[in-house]
Amino acid sequence: MSSSLPGTPRADGFRMPGEHEPQQAVLMAWPERADNWREAAGPAQRAFAAVAAAIAAATPVIMCISAAQRESARALLPAGVTLLEIPCNDSWMRDIGPTYVVNSQGEKRGIDWGFNAWGGEVNGLYPDWSLDAAMAASVLAARGEGRYRAPLVLEGGSIHVDGQGTCITTAECLLHPGRNPQLDQSAIGALLKDYLNVDKIIWLPRGLHNDETDGHVDNILHIAGPGEVLLTWCDDPVDPVFEICRECLAALELETDARGRRFTVHKLPMPGPLLLQPEEAAGIAPSGGMSRMAGERLAGSYANFLITNQRVVFPLLDPRHDDDARDILQAVFPQHQVVGVPGREILLGGGNIHCITQQIPL
């Protein structure tokens, strides 16, 4: 493991680009955990391969794998996908991979956040996360890129940035006692400003209902570009998401971004409610930390998509709403090709397309 750099990205003139900015590649990690992915991860592997293929048509994909999974990954993935042998405990690259920052000369470095399986001793999802915690440093070492070790437990799915000084997050996640109980909101905000090189943090109250990440922002909202966001929206007053999305909208309407712009908010329909089916639950190995019970509500969201070079890859989750979600995304991204990929098998593991990807900027 390479030693970490002194200083901070902000002090060194590095910033985290917005997801809508040009990308060199997209990182992913191959699923194999039988207590999270049903039928020994077979359906999930096919779903990850389909996502990788959709991204690879626009942007190179680097898939991290364990040695034991090399043959199965190679058989399912497009030939152009690069395999990088770095094992993980589970496959949420957004949360375990490096968050990249760049400077005006085009140099890239990565932030290595602390990782504790979404809550550590308080409410972490599995007891051993050592491989996941090492992923960011391992990727950066393999690629020969500098590494900032941030003094903060944080997952990449808990932050969105616009590349122009604004970060959007949720208080539910970043202030959860399972992350950084020694730090208050002001201290966490100051670290985000130093490591992402942003000037303003917008705190949404809560994330999506029943999201076992404690409400990651990327499962309820996505930044389309400066001053423009997409927000999951629910019109059923008896659904918990009804109040959550209205709280988020109210918070956005009270704020401007770092450059003083009011937000344009596009409402994405909420799929479902989607429930874990008995036959799906039956194929998942028992686990102490992760609840995978038949009838449990899944935290499904069309906001959990990836923007990559001239392409938007989003999850197909509900035939009643898939086309509406596609139309909204196409209207927001008129210069992009909007591609839907079946997302239910990924959702069964607790997230979706944005959660399993991490972009490397140009």
Question: What value does the mean pLDDT take over residues 257-263?
Answer: 98
DSSP state of 157: G
Kindly report, residue by residue over 57-92, the tens digit of the pLDDT. 999 999 999 999 999 999 999 999 999 999 999 999
Helix (H, G, I), strand (E, B) or coil at 223: strand
Among this protein's residues, is 167 annotated catalytic?
Answer: no
> How much is the pLDDT for 1?
58
Binning pLDDT at 50, 70 and 90, where does residue 288 land?
confident
13 pLDDT more than 80 = yes
Q: What is the mean pLDDT of the chain?
A: 97
Per residue in 166-184, pLDDT (tens digit) is 999 999 999 999 999 999 9
DSSP code, position 205: S
Residue for token pair 């998509």: 305
> What is residue 3's predicted lDDT score, i.e. its pLDDT?
87
pLDDT at 291 over 90: no
What are the backbone dihedrals phi and psi of residue 111, each rounded to the nearest 5 degrees, phi first?
-95, 130
Task: Compute the distance between CA of residue 251 and CA of residue 75 in angstroms, rounded to an integer.
Answer: 46
CA–CA separation, 153 and 188 (whole Å): 10
pLDDT at res. 287: 80
What is the CB neighbour count within 10 angstroms for residue 242?
A: 16
**Residues 323, 52, 26: CA angle, nearest 5 degrees:** 110
Q: What are phi and psi of 14, to 5 degrees?
A: -105, 150
Contact 115, 153 (CB under 8 A): yes
CA 169 – CA 221 distance, rounded (Å):
9
Regarding pTM above 0.85, the answer is yes
pLDDT tier for residue 111 given thresholds of 50, 70 and 90: very high
- In the chain, what percentage of residues exceed pLDDT 90? 97
Would you say the C-alpha torsion 336, 342, 347, 353 has a positive or negative sign? negative
- What's the pLDDT band for 301 if we cut at 50, 70, 90? very high
Neighbouring-strand partners of residue 233: 269
Q: Which domains does the chain have, with CATH numbers?
A: 9-361 (3.75.10.10)
Angle at 180 between CA 108 and CA 143, to 5 degrees: 20
Q: For residue 135, is pLDDT > 80? A: yes
Q: Which of 332, 331, 338, 344 is nearest to 314 (CA)?
A: 338
Closest CA to 67 of 80, 48, 54, 86: 86
pLDDT-derived band at 335, boundaries 50, 70, 90:
very high
Regarding beta strands 221-225 and 228-233, do their DSSP bridges make them parallel or antiparallel, or are they unpaired?
Answer: antiparallel
User: Tokens for 117?
Assistant: 């399986």
C-alpha span between 298 and 336 (Å, rounded): 29
Do 85 and 65 contact (CB within 8 A), yes or no?
yes
